[in-house]
Amino acid sequence: MARGDGPGRDQPYTERETVEPPDWFVEQANVSDPTVYDRFEREWPDCWRDAAELLDWETPFETVFRGTDGPPFEWFPGGRLNAAYNCIDRHLPERKNQLALVWEGHLGESRTYTYLELYREVNAFAAALRERGVGPDDVVTLYLPMVPELPVAMLACARLGVQHNVVFAGFSADALATRMERAESAYLITCDGYYRRGSAVAQKNKADNARIAVDHDVSVVVLDRLGRDVHLGDDYDDYHDLLAAHKGAEIEPAPRAADDPLFRIYTSGTTGQPKAVTHTTGGYLAHVAWTARSVLDIKPEDTYWCSADIGWITGHSYIVYGPLALGTTTVLYNGTADHPEKDRLWELIEKYAVDVFYTAPTAVRAFMKWGKQYPQQHDLSSLRLLGTVGEPMDARAWEWYREHIGGGECPVVDTWWQTETGAILVSTLPGVDEMKPGAAGTPLPGIEASVVDRSGTAVEANTAGELVVTRPWPGMPHALLDGTDWGSVPDSAEEWRYYPEDSVSADEDGYITFLGRIDDAINVAGRRFSTKELESTVSGVDGVAEAAVVGANDERTGTAVYTFASPEDGYGESELRDAIEEAVVDAIGGIARPKEIVFTPDLPKTRSGKVMRRLLTAVANDEDLGDTSALRNPEILGEIQSTTSRE
């Protein structure tokens, strides 16, 4: 088979070529003993002691897991620890002058923090937060782009034992306000603005608008990134003034119970409203550290780079907590892959001699489209392992990534997990398992999952079904520990189930291929949005009588947002188009901007008046419509199709 010409996702999985991890990799891998699967199975749940032992506990846990009779589940009960202590302090005796953070920003601007420097800044900022009145039950919202002050602020919160609530910097003022309101968060850390593609992007005005929209008082800290003289009003503090005022302060890390919350993060759920996911201190940190070690093969002496944004869960787990818990050097990049040139990432990998690189399939598809000449301009030989996360990785992109970025040698891990799972649950172990391009892998040791049909019965190999996780895992969030939200209500741990809402199939070897979401969430360039939330935004626009939003296949972003709207009489299409785009950007942010807005006098409806979104998805994908006999207004489909046929 020619390189770059690998089998696509539509080929039977059994015919795929498998790829063995190379010996040189296995010999140095953190985990290379194949008996790990059996041992974790035999010793479950005690096997997870391996993960907990990667951490330093202030008070040892009494037992690994409690809850064999069903929820509530407890991981590492009795144990107390502090996440910031684990990510910083404990590394100081051995490597205080090793780099913890390497930051690359606007056009060659860069900054580094050793573990000692990180320790000092986190302490000073924690002291400042405490002086501002931040106390144990508070939630501190962080609305910052990819700057070192973001992990500093996260770790300062962790040190104090208060929850952070990171809101992606590209989200709108409304989206920020909703998340602050729901979290009852009275503290906001933001910046005046930041640079993107060479131009300044304003941030503080969005934060100001959110502050006005929130019902309660909000105290704001502003980081000066643009170097302009921004006037700060009452209740605003300057980040650097606070640091200077608390220079040299030391804050005792607050010991936290294993299941005390470490942070919350909002994600798109099945409803139109963002859903809060709260992760624990002990179970979460143990799970991210264990997977960062066994799946991403991170070593303390590595330079590791995950190109995600800390605003999403990937950045929390695998830019900040996992890598720092292992005492490695983690790279932060505030920029895009194609600015100033399309070789930007490869330039950085060469500059920092990155060992492990973790990115999204969307990015790989873009690299592939731009061509191999960009990576070829750089020495990428420092790379040892490549990873992807966030969306299905097709075999062709997998092969290209391994060949042109990994020099045909690096193992590639396709890691599946979610905001809710906190850490990776499905992947190959690169030092143990053979890889199958186009399939993520089996559930990790200690994780039990299967593929079922709608009635919950296991389906046969190579048949599409729904993924179900059938055992608790350490990184599970609070809502699942209680066993009530999102999971089924069980009588015992045996019967407990978690449905991630992913459609999958598994081959004879149990390798899982992810096919897409089942619920109303859509995955645009690895970022999760709720179609319901988008729909209610579009329906709220003056002049829109009715709207439906679906995801359609897109070569670049995996899925793209398609909006179908029926206008009220008297409204022009171009004015409505602008208003819809503006409403989406205001409500969520530019990242959710619809790719297509299609106007139609009516939406396809069943006799009982339900919009048939399945048909709209088929129209958007230019697919066969299948059975349309349930429609009250079948003639509308022809009209919509003639509007959407673009070529």
Q: d(Cα 90, Cα 79) in Å, to the nearest integer?
A: 17
Residue 102, classed as helix, strand or coil, is: strand
Q: Which is nearer to ligand WTA, 514 or 564 (CB)?
A: 514
Does residue 511 touch ligand WTA according to CB under 6 A? no
In contact, 53 and 31? CB cutoff 8 Å: no
Residue type, 338: D
Nearest to 467 by CA among 424, 423, 518, 539: 518
H or E, element range at 414: strand 412-415
User: Which member of 323, 411, 500, 551 binds ligand WTA (CB under 6 A)?
Assistant: 500
Q: Which is nearer to ligand WTA, 118 or 310 (CB)?
A: 310
Q: Which is nearer to ligand WTA, 82 or 418 (CB)?
A: 418
Site for ligand WTA in 390-449 (CB under 6 A): 390-392, 414-419, 440
Stretch that binds ligand WTA, among 114-122, 192-200, 229-237, 307-315 (CB under 6 A): 307-315
Least distance to ligand WTA from the beta carbon of 503, Å? 9
What's the chain's length in residues? 647
Largest pairwise CA distance in the chain: 73
Least distance to ligand WTA from the beta carbon of 600, Å? 29
DSSP string covering 230-251: PPP-TTEEEHHHHHHHTTT---
Least distance to ligand WTA from the beta carbon of 254, Å? 28
Q: d(Cα 647, Cα 71) in Å, to the nearest integer?
A: 54
Q: Which is nearer to ligand WTA, 79 or 315 (CB)?
A: 315
Q: d(Cα 533, Cα 529) in Å, to the nearest integer?
A: 8
Least distance to ligand WTA from the beta carbon of 266, Å? 11
Rounded alpha-carbon distances, angstroms, from residue 342 to 335, 338, 361, 386 = 12, 4, 16, 19
Does residue 465 touch ligand WTA according to CB under 6 A? no
Stretch that binds ligand WTA, among 298-306, 333-341, 389-397, 578-586 (CB under 6 A): 389-397
Q: Are strands 502-506 and 74-75 parallel, antiparallel or unpaired?
A: unpaired
Q: Which is nearer to ligand WTA, 316 or 384 (CB)?
A: 316
Least distance to ligand WTA from the beta carbon of 558, Å? 9
Give burial (CB, 10 Å; 0-12/13-18/19+) of 546.
middle
Q: Which is nearer to ligand WTA, 334 or 415 (CB)?
A: 415
Least distance to ligand WTA from the beta carbon of 93, Å? 33
User: Which member of 313, 326, 345, 603 binds ligand WTA (CB under 6 A)?
Assistant: 313
Q: Which is nearer to ligand WTA, 425 or 637 (CB)?
A: 425
Least distance to ligand WTA from the beta carbon of 219, Å? 30
Stretch that binds ligand WTA, among 201-209, 297-305, 306-314, 596-604 (CB under 6 A): 306-314
Give burial (CB, 10 Å; 0-12/13-18/19+) of 132.
middle
Least distance to ligand WTA from the beta carbon of 71, Å? 22
Residue type, 39: R
Residues 6+ away with beta carbon under 8 Å from 108: none
Site for ligand WTA in 608-637 (CB under 6 A): none
Least distance to ligand WTA from the beta carbon of 269, Å? 10
User: Which member of 298, 389, 413, 560 binds ligand WTA (CB under 6 A)?
Assistant: 389
Q: Which is nearer to ligand WTA, 127 or 449 (CB)?
A: 449
**Site track 524-563 with ligand WTA (rule: CB under 6 A), x = hit:** ----x-----------------------------------
Does residue 314 touch ligand WTA according to CB under 6 A? yes
Helix 149-160 and helix 115-131, axial crossing angle in degrees, nearest 10: 60
User: Which member of 502, 520, 535, 554 binds ligand WTA (CB under 6 A)?
Assistant: 502
Residue 412, classed as helix, strand or coil, is: strand
Least distance to ligand WTA from the beta carbon of 618, Å? 20
Give burial (CB, 10 Å; 0-12/13-18/19+) of 298.
buried
Site for ligand WTA in 254-273 (CB under 6 A): 267
Stretch that binds ligand WTA, among 72-80, 280-288, 311-319, 378-386 (CB under 6 A): 311-319
Size of the site for ligand WTA (CB under 6 A): 21
Does residue 523 touch ligand WTA according to CB under 6 A? yes
Q: Are strands 139-142 and 385-389 parallel, antiparallel or unpaired?
A: unpaired
Least distance to ligand WTA from the beta carbon of 385, Å? 15
Rounded alpha-carbon distances, angstroms, from residue 333 to 146, 200, 319, 383 = 6, 16, 10, 17
Q: d(Cα 6, Cα 331) in Å, to the nearest integer?
A: 31
DSSP string covering 569-598: TT--HHHHHHHHHHHHHHHT-GGG--SEEE
In contact, 441 and 427? CB cutoff 8 Å: yes
Q: Which is nearer to ligand WTA, 355 or 394 (CB)?
A: 394
Does residue 191 touch ligand WTA according to CB under 6 A? no
Binding site for ligand WTA (CB under 6 A): 267, 312-314, 389-392, 414-419, 440, 500, 502, 514, 517, 523, 528
